[in-house]
């Protein structure tokens, strides 16, 4: 049972978020079915992880999670499901991640923390920076229809969401 099940039936915030495609995406206005997986941080070559990262439960795993979604991208598309990642990281950092990993889907940036504030989502702080805890939403016309939280094995998230969406 997810601690965030009370969000089922709620509309995502009506806010334009910067996307790695360069065009904003408003999660409340995504038509049809969409999966939005939220994650805290993606590492970057030449940059250290945030302070104490290795000691924060659930902090690691964003790259395996994103790569699993990338590997399953075709399956999501065949189901007519749009796919997005979401973090509080800035779009420039996310664009680098998309380029290095050749992701076919967009990552959404919410550095102001509008989505977690609006939905009272769990976050954590280290080094004076706030990070989104890992969670996944299935949306139907911008309304939350399913929530996965916690996501204990990020690399398996895409497969588990696909199984839940399969007809």
Q: Give pLDDT tens digits for 55-96.
A: 999 999 999 999 999 999 999 999 999 999 999 999 999 999
Q: Which residues contact 10 (CB under 8 A, 6 or more apart)?
A: 119, 143, 144
- Does residue 20 contact residue 29 with C-beta atoms inside 8 Å? no
Distance CA 69, CA 90 (A): 20
What's the number of CA atoms in the CB half-sphere (13 Å) around residue 20?
23
CB 94 within 8 A of CB 18: no
Indicate the length of the chain as a whole number.
167
Note whether 122 and 133 are within 8 A (CB): yes
Structure confidence at residue 2 as a pLDDT band (50, 70, 90)? low
- Could you report the per-residue pLDDT of 3-31, keeping only the tens digit for each? 798 999 999 999 999 999 999 999 999 99
Question: What's the average model confidence in pLDDT over 18-47?
Answer: 97
CB 46 within 8 A of CB 130: no
pLDDT in tens, 97-143: 999 999 999 999 999 999 999 999 999 999 999 999 999 999 999 99
User: 167 pLDDT band (50/70/90 cuts)?
Assistant: confident
Handedness of CA 81, 82, 86, 92 (dihedral sign): positive
CB 53 within 8 A of CB 59: yes
- Collapsing DSSP states into helix, strand and coil, what is residue 47? coil
């Amino acid at each position: 049972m997810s601690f965030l099940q009370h969000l089922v039936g709620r509309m995502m915030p009506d806010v334009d978020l910067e996307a790695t495609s360069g065009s904003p995406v408003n999660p409340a206005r995504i038509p049809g079915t969409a999966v939005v997986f939220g994650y805290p941080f993606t590492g970057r070559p030449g940059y250290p992880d945030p302070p104490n990262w290795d000691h924060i439960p659930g902090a690691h795993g964003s790259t395996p999670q994103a790569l699993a979604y990338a590997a399953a991208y075709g399956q999501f598309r065949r189901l007519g499901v749009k796919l997005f990642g979401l973090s509080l990281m800035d779009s420039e950092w996310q664009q680098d991640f998309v380029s290095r990993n050749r992701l076919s889907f967009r990552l959404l940036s919410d550095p102001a923390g509008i989505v977690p504030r609006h939905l009272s989502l769990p976050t954590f702080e280290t080094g004076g920076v706030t990070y989104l805890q890992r969670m996944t939403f299935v949306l139907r016309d911008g309304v939350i229809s399913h929530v996965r939280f916690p996501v204990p094995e990020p690399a398996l998230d895409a497969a588990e969401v696909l199984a839940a969406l399969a007809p």
